[in-house]
């Protein structure tokens, strides 16, 4: 008789832990966004897509560097190394994103980095870092 209440209690605790961890991750991303904001042309939240996994990250762009980071990941690359920039409604694997989102795809030496942004944030990024093909200059626009 005590088995069912115990299972329910364990499921409830697991659910609360998951909610708590998501809220804490959001707080950590806010700290990263605020840290990068003063020196960046544009900063926003996004989801970095790695295979089928979506990893919440903070994106930032300075005059010559693109940053994507979260509490477990600190990554960046120079804009000069970016071969192509695209904004799309679907991921490279062909999966469409929500109607209120856009995909920003950066290609560097054959590797694609995909980030899911809100449409409003994608518009900000496209204004500062416009789409371009290989062979075009890799510079951010002035604000």
Q: What are the two backbone dihedrals, phi and then psi, of residue 60, each rounded to the nearest 5 degrees?
A: -145, 145
pLDDT tens by residue, 112-124: 999 999 999 999 9
Mean pLDDT of 56-75: 92
- pLDDT the model gives residue 22: 65
**In CATH terms, is domain 3-128 a member of 2.30.29.30?**
yes
Do residues 45 and 60 make contact, with C-beta atoms less than 8 angstroms apart?
Answer: no
Torsion sign (Cα): 38, 113, 45, 119:
positive
- pLDDT the model gives residue 139: 54
- Looking at the chain, the whole-number percentage of residues with pLDDT higher than 90 is 46
Read off the tokens for 129.
């870092």
In terms of pLDDT, which residue wins out, 21 or 84? 84
Residue 20's pLDDT band (cuts 50, 70, 90): low
- pLDDT the model gives residue 143: 45
Mean pLDDT of 13-33: 71
> Hey, where are the domains in the chain?
3-128
Do residues 62 and 120 make contact, with C-beta atoms less than 8 angstroms apart?
Answer: no
pLDDT tens by residue, 86-119: 999 999 888 989 999 999 999 998 899 999 999 9
């Amino acid at each position: 008789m005590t088995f069912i209440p115990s299972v329910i209690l364990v499921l409830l605790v697991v659910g609360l832990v998951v909610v708590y961890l998501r809220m804490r991750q959001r707080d950590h991303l806010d700290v990263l966004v605020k840290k990068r904001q003063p020196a960046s042309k544009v900063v926003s939240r996004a989801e970095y897509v790695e295979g089928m996994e979506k990893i919440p990250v903070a994106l930032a762009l300075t005059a010559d560097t693109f940053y994507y980071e979260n509490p477990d990941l600190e990554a960046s690359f120079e804009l000069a190394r970016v071969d192509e920039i695209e904004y799309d409604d679907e991921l490279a694997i062909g999966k469409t994103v929500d109607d209120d989102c856009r995909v920003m795809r950066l290609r560097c030496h054959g590797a694609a980095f995909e980030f899911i942004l809100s449409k409003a944030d994608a518009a900000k990024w496209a204004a500062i870092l416009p789409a371009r093909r290989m062979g075009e200059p890799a510079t951010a626009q002035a604000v």
